[in-house]
Structure 1
């Protein structure tokens, strides 16, 4: 059964229709915005994400946001009680990849110095990536950092040294068989010219 339109108040009816359309149009983007940072990116695995990020060097906030479909906010993640004037810090996430890997945190640091390519760390979880999987993708890895016995959060870092800089894979002591982070440390332009 349909309700008859109240012809006595056409302005009221138009206002109600306009509000309904406006609210319906606004609710979808608000709902979508809340889901963006947790959306699964179709066909995007950790390995494809790494390859795509390498293509974005030098890193910028906008490049990383667009590639990972997440919003980065300015936040000093250095842990220092003093304001850091050397770097600009951005953080964001989580991002779920189709291989079940979750980038729980994106940590981007860009030096306030012209030409700096940025430094990027992806903290990962979800499906476990074993050291053998990393070796299968990157071949021989060099140990570049190791735990010193002070904390279960200390990591063993395995690195490769492509032309653009250093790519490291960290495995923390509390779960040594699963990848905890991926770090991108591109060479500074001055470093390239010094060679």
Structure 2
């Protein structure tokens, strides 16, 4: 009986070793992508990045990676215990821009359903960008998210409405003088254009 179980144990051991070697290779690859995204620094300012990203709508993983010189990893950032079947989530960071602004996290969400242009959030650190600097680029800013003091992450949000949709700028109440994130919320693609 022992001779029958030994080959089974050997097979199991080989399978576990193969899996461990494969996972070690994946870990190394993910580490290389992370290192590459930190080493490749786009030679553009935040405002140039915003303009370049707006030109890429509808967003795809590839066109966002290309503009920001980063690698997006598929990862559900919704924090929902139930698997999300509506969106594909991609994340990356940090990306250092030439003006000292650091995109600490890139959060791209693309619906599985055709015709969705994607939804992109850039969380910011580094050089402080105040509301007046934002207004110098977007004079038509409107207050769209008044602060809610009952929230631990209270923020004030301003938006502009270009032809492609809505671009929003958030200032956290704990650091109200510096831009903390910006959100690209494009209009849905028309059915006629979705098939082109």
Is the contact made by 2:42 and 2:69 (CA closer than 8 Å) also made in structure 1? no
1:114 is the counterpart of 2:114: yes
> How many angstroms apart in 2 are the aligned matches of 1:166 and 1:108?
15
| Residue in structure 1 matched with residue 44 of structure 2 by the alignment | 44
TM-score (normalised: structure 1): 0.78
SS of corresponding position for 2:38: coil
**Whole-angstrom distance in 2 between the partners of 1:138 and 1:90:** 28
Structure 1 stretches lacking a partner, 5+ long: 1-29
Moved more, 36-45 or 55-64: 36-45
Give 1:154 deviation, angstroms: 2.1
**More displaced, 30-39 or 44-53?**
30-39
TM-score, normalised on structure 2? 0.77
SS of alignment partner, residue 62 of structure 1: helix
Residues in 2 aligned to 1:47 and 1:58: alpha-carbon distance in whole angstroms: 19
Q: CA deviation at 1:32?
A: 7.6
1:170 aligns with 2:170: yes
Kindly report which structure 2 residues correspond to 1:79-98, keeping only aligned pairs within 5 A, or say none.
79-98=79-98
8 Å CA contact retained: 1:40, 1:98: no
> Distance in 2 between the 1:71 and 1:150 partners?
36
Asked if 1:56 is matched to 2:56, the reply is: yes
- Give the Cα–Cα distance (whole angstroms) in 1 for the partners of residues 102 and 173 of structure 2: 19
Structure-1 separation of matches of 2:191 and 2:144: 19
Question: Residues 133-144 of structure 1 correspond to what in structure 2 (within 5 A)?
Answer: 133-144=133-144
| Alpha-carbon spacing, 1:35–1:81, altered in 2? closer, same or farther (3 Å) | closer
Say whether the 8 Å CA contact 2:125–2:180 is kept in structure 1: yes
Based on CA coordinates, which of the two structures has the bigger radius of gyration?
1
**C-alpha separation in 1, matches of 2:83 and 2:166:** 27
Q: Give the structure 2 partner of residue 131 of structure 1.
A: 131
Distance 1:131 1:166 in 2: 17
> How many pairs were matched up?
165
- Is contact 2:123-2:182 (8 Å) kept? yes
Gaps spanning 5+ residues in structure 2: where? Answer: 1-29
Distance 1:99 1:40 in 2: 15
* 2:116–2:189 Cα contact (<8 Å) kept: yes
Q: State the match for 1:23 in structure 2.
A: none
Root-mean-square deviation (CA, aligned residues, Å) is 2.4
Q: Tell me by how many angstroms 1:31 deviates.
A: 9.9
